[in-house]
Structure 1
Amino acid sequence: MIEINNLSFAYDKRTELFKNLSLSLSEGHIYGLLGKNGAGKSTLLKNMAGLAYPQKGTCLLNKANVSGRPVSVLEQLYFLSEDIYVPSFTPSQYVDNTAGFYPKFSRSDFYTYLNALDVDENAVMDKQSFGQQKKAMIAFGLATNTSLLIMDEPTNGLDIPSKVQFRKLIASVLTYERCIVISTHQVRDLDSLIDTLLILHDKEIVVNCTMDEVVEKLTFGFYTDNDGLKALYEEKDMRGTSAISENTTGRFNKVDLELLFNAIISGNKKIVELLKA
């Protein structure tokens, strides 16, 4: 699906974001891309979509170079930017003018998603709130049925009920022929949604593993008494200690994505080594 080979990208000499970054993404997965602000998450997604051009290396979608943005590539991908622009169209008018660029677009799916997200198909989009605009574009992106769906901060501007519905819809549209990549700084929005975790840190992908692999190797817990606890990483508050330990029992528990992310960006090499093993 996506093959990134030795990608190097910089806006200028002082802001090199990646150096010789390589990454493979496959169909049938929902990838969650995490990283600190300024780490280059959005830029990496734009490289995948052919909207940014690397100084070195290539990004291929089904063996075609995305940098040239040929029609054969564009009709296979949909990119939802964090900063969206909507015209003075209703969602129905937008579909009439745009859906033709996507051979697998489904109007029936589109109206189903609009209804699920509580968006009025007859309301002029640029007169609506940012959250309503975002939901209309999410519905459109899902309905394109492209093999690659890239979403940058899709839950920004969404209220809690809409975030819940968003997660349900994303889970429902994944097929063995589709790859979904979601980037967010709202780590908890990816809970129970992604199956593969990517963490971008210090110019490289330091974590690239399935959630099953995470729970096989690590244990997450909250302890009011942590005497004797052999933690790899911990955060304390007035109630107790949230900790990550090596899974030595073979028992699985729920991944605390926020705690894991904090551990990785704090420079915890032991956890990174375990996840790479």
Structure 2
Amino acid sequence: MITVENLSFSYRKSKHSVLHDFSLSLEKGRVYGLLGKNGAGKSTLLYLMSGLLTPKGGRVMFHDTDVRRRLPVTLRDMFLVPEEFDLPSVPLMSYVRLNSLFYPRFSKEDMMKYLHYFEMEMDINLGALSMGQKKKVFMSFALATNTSLLLMDEPTNGLDIPSKSQFRKFIASGMSEDKTIVISTHQVRDIDKSLDHVVVMDKSQVLLNESTTRITEKLLFTESEDRELAKNALFAAPSIQGNSLMLVNEHEEESDINLELLFNAILSSPEKLSQLFNSQN
């Protein structure tokens, strides 16, 4: 669906490149979690993918069209939800009426459905909402546009605990085989049940690009007080139960993915994880 080819970018006042010769391909019908340390270039990558920033080198192709050309064929089929944004102090109905025209597949019925997940209605004024409420409304509008590509930067920031649970249901309800959703976040525990694919980037390299199914086939995530088991783990971190462990899944056991543990393990030993996923076994 979208291909990032040898992308390089740096901001004018910075001597260092945010991205250098970075490449990545994303397929349709998946929910990607884009993970990386602060400064790894996750937000910058989303803006480059949407055509809002101009790369110093390379390009981003979306349906065989360079996104930087900002053609209607690409603009009407992608949507970016930034981490911070402003909405006008107008009734939501007015906002929808004016902005939905740019998106041929926008559905008011879908919009109402997504708002319902967040326990909100259409008859509200945007100027009277908190930042968290505005984020719920904007994400609901974004998903209701039914674009092929939806990019979301730190979508759970500003949401309370019940809303983060609602967010997971919200994403699941809006997914289809024709959509690709990319969620860039530091709040990995907020999205671990929403993803079916994980991308970890660091220093302009993709350290991991795997489906959650293959990750849990290769790796076993568990909690244990067993010190011997911890010694043999690929990665271990202290927890209330003793240790959170990431082990080679030798016996094809089932476990829920622990994104925080996985992320820290990859940054700690990228070569070890790369060998594991590139092996033929």
How would you bin the TM-score normalised by the shorter chain? over 0.9
Equivalent residue number for residue 32 of structure 2: 31
* Aligned AA (1:273): Q
Distance 2:207 2:273 in 1: 10
Say yes or no: does 1:144 pair with 2:150.
no
The 5-angstrom pairing of residues 126-205 of structure 1 reads 126-205=127-206
Distance 2:31 2:239 in 1: 33
Distance 1:23 1:266 in 2: 22
Aligned residues of 1:207 and 1:276 also touching (Cα < 8 A)? no
Equivalent residue number for residue 240 of structure 1: 242
Gap runs ≥5 in structure 2: none
Aligned partner of residue 154 in structure 1, secondary structure: coil
Distance 2:238 2:187 in 1: 21
Equivalent residue number for residue 2 of structure 1: 2
Aligned residues of 2:233 and 2:248 also touching (Cα < 8 A)? yes
Distance 1:239 1:76 in 2: 46
Distance 2:197 2:66 in 1: 24
Equivalent residue number for residue 71 of structure 1: 72
Assess, with a 3 A threshold, how the Cα gap between structure 1 residues 238 and 172 changes in structure 2: closer, same or farther.
closer
Aligned residues of 1:106 and 1:145 also touching (Cα < 8 A)? yes
Q: CA deviation at 1:47?
A: 0.8
Q: CA deviation at 1:213?
A: 1.0
TM-score (norm 1): 0.95
- The RMSD of aligned alpha carbons is 1.5
* Aligned AA (2:57): K
Assess, with a 3 A threshold, how the Cα gap between structure 1 residues 190 and 275 changes in structure 2: closer, same or farther.
farther
Fraction of identical pairs, as percent: 42
Distance 2:155 2:278 in 1: 28
Aligned residues of 2:117 and 2:169 also touching (Cα < 8 A)? no
Distance 2:32 2:26 in 1: 8
Say yes or no: does 1:261 pair with 2:263.
yes
Aligned partner of residue 273 in structure 1, secondary structure: helix
Aligned partner of residue 16 in structure 1, secondary structure: coil
* Aligned AA (1:214): I
The 5-angstrom pairing of residues 40-119 of structure 1 reads 40-119=41-120
Equivalent residue number for residue 20 of structure 1: 21
TM-score (norm 2): 0.94
* Aligned AA (1:263): A
